[in-house]
Amino acid sequence: MAPAQYTTSIPVDVSAVDRENLAKNIFLIPDGNQYILYAPLNHFVASVNGTTARLIQQFLIDRDPESVPPPIRSQLADLTWAQVPEKLPAVRDPGRPFEPTQVTIFPTNQCMLRCEYCYASAGGAAPRRVDLRAIGPAIELVIAATKRRGQTATVAFHGGCDPLFSPEIVKSSVGYACAAGERESVKVRLVISTSGAVSEKTAEWLARTFHSVCLSCDGPPDIQDRQRPLADGSPSSPLVSRTAGVLRDHNVPCGIRATVTARTVHRMTEMVDYFIEVFGMRQMHFEPVHPCGRCATESIAAPSSLEFVEHFSAAWEHARSRNAFLRYSGCRLGWLTERFCAVDGDNFCLTPEGHMSSCYEVPDTSHPLADTLIFGRFDPTPQSFVVDQDKLAVLRRLNVTYKEFCKSCFAKWNCGGDCPVKGITGHTNLLSDYSYKPGARCDINRELTLRSLRRALEFQGDDKHACSTPQRHN
């Protein structure tokens, strides 16, 4: 049996795999009267009956292919999926140096919006703006690392608050990044997440400046204006709609990021239509609201897992029928990764306080996990960053490799153990919660991943839209 060969760009980004016990990498999920046989490392899935499942169980014990009847063996790709791929990435060293290829700048803790669920409780703290002296060294750090690796540097803008509340900081940073990239012959990719509640002039600049834009919007005006009003309580939807139009007219690669509450969960299909018809967007990203920040203090209800799964599935099918692409961060069938995001020690977010945070949801020291997730700071005297290597080593264990709870879950390399911050804050805010307790969204992640597997099996032939991460939409 020849092991799978990989020639394209890291289809398996999973390193810490049990290479001795094959059965630990292969999953069997009861599905009505049938079973789904899932071998993620080799991208293989099949629907089989109980008799076949028992034959495979035995085969994985005695390793004798002859124990499986030839016709079944043939139907099951000659059992090649039972091999551990030879070209797995090297296991990452938690003590590796900090060499970020992306910096995400949080320009300010002020915002033009007052989203009712804001995780950063925007507007509730004394105004702060990032120290401009920190921006240059942050960008230089990233440029130097990417130059060594021969990669593209990414300079991103995000934050607990809208980065375009202070466009002059963004402009200054962009200028610095471009100059540094030019000087060092490093390509710089510019990305931003924004509410889009900006002037037309700023929207034009946004469209002409960034390589891609993530536009946060919750849907039709009645939803948007209730959940994401301007700071004075007035509607934000006219501004956001205008910005979307500018981005569309400039053909900027752009996606929508919408937060779903209990109030809006049944309107996800309508939201898809709105973003296609009014915004002209075809890439959408819906997430259930997580109870933190103002969402917790204002008692904004999250949808139940069941409700979210049902309505997301319907909206996904609807988006697909309209040649659009809807995703949710915990269901990523095309991904095989041991991390949910780069929180495990590669993220570099520069906060308004001059701290280095590994998480977008931890923009300041008031967050309950700030002491864990803020791992460094800008020192203005030598104008450089001081990294706490001990904290970094802890962060590098916030992925599914170190999450005991997920050891035997079929979806573990798709969701990467889910968002560590949501998981930990969903329990007792202790780091040990991460390893031994479920993620905050396990029910959703597992059910949507299972449905994606079913969908893949149902759609035979060339339908590349069957899963949640289609290869191409043309």
Partner 1 sequence: MPVQPPKDTISAVNLPDDPGKEAPAVYAVKDLRDYIKPPLDDSIASPVNAKESLSTSPCSCNSVCACVPVGACGCDDFCACDSVAPRQSIAPGLSVNDLREACYCEGDEGCSCQGDTCPCQCTCQNVYYYPKCLQPVEGTEEAAE
In the region spanning residues 1 to 20, those forming contacts with partner 1, defined by CB under 8 A, are 8, 11
379 near partner 1 (CB under 8 A): no
Q: x/- string (CB under 8 A) for partner 1, residues 82-121?
A: ----------------------x-----------------
325 near partner 1 (CB under 8 A): yes
Q: Closest distance between partner 1 and the C-beta of residue 123, in Å?
A: 18
> Angle at which helices 167-184 and 200-209 pack, to 10 degrees?
20
Which one, 384 or 393, has the nearer CB to partner 1? 384
Which range, of 93-101, 226-234, 325-333, 362-370, touches partner 1 by CB under 8 A? 325-333
Which one, 171 or 297, has the nearer CB to partner 1? 171
Dihedral over Cα of 295, 300, 305, 308: its sign: negative
Identity (one letter) of the amino acid at 43? H
393 near partner 1 (CB under 8 A): no
Q: Closest distance between partner 1 and the C-beta of residue 390, in Å?
A: 26
Give the sheet arrangement for strand 325-327, strand by strand: 325-327, 283-288, 254-260, 212-216, 188-194, 153-157, 102-105, 349-350, 355-357, 374-379, 384-387
469 near partner 1 (CB under 8 A): yes
Contacts of 10 (CB under 8 A, 6+ apart): 89
**What pairs with residue 28 in β-bridges?**
37
Residues 38-57 binding partner 1 (CB under 8 A) are 40, 43-57
Among 17, 112, 254, 309, binds partner 1 (CB under 8 A): 254
Residues 174-193 binding partner 1 (CB under 8 A) are 174-176, 178-179, 181-182, 187-193
Interface size with partner 1, residues (CB under 8 A):
123
Which one, 220 or 255, has the nearer CB to partner 1? 255
Give dist(CA 203, CA 221) in Å, integer: 19
416 near partner 1 (CB under 8 A): no
Beta carbons of 384 and 403 less than 8 angstroms apart = no
Give dist(CA 295, CA 134) in Å, integer: 31
285 near partner 1 (CB under 8 A): yes
Give dist(CA 154, CA 110) in Å, integer: 24
Give dist(CA 225, CA 233) in Å, integer: 8
Token pair 């697909």 in the structure block, residue: 320
Of 442, 447, 440, 439, residue with least CA distance to 468 = 447
Q: x/- string (CB under 8 A) for partner 1, residues 199-218?
A: --x--xx--xxxxxxx----
143 near partner 1 (CB under 8 A): no
Q: Is 33 left (phi over 0), alpha (psi -120 to 50) or beta?
A: alpha
Residues 295-324 binding partner 1 (CB under 8 A) are none
Q: Closest distance between partner 1 and the C-beta of residue 233, in Å?
A: 24
Q: Closest distance between partner 1 and the C-beta of residue 95, in Å?
A: 26
402 near partner 1 (CB under 8 A): no
**What pairs with residue 387 in β-bridges?**
376
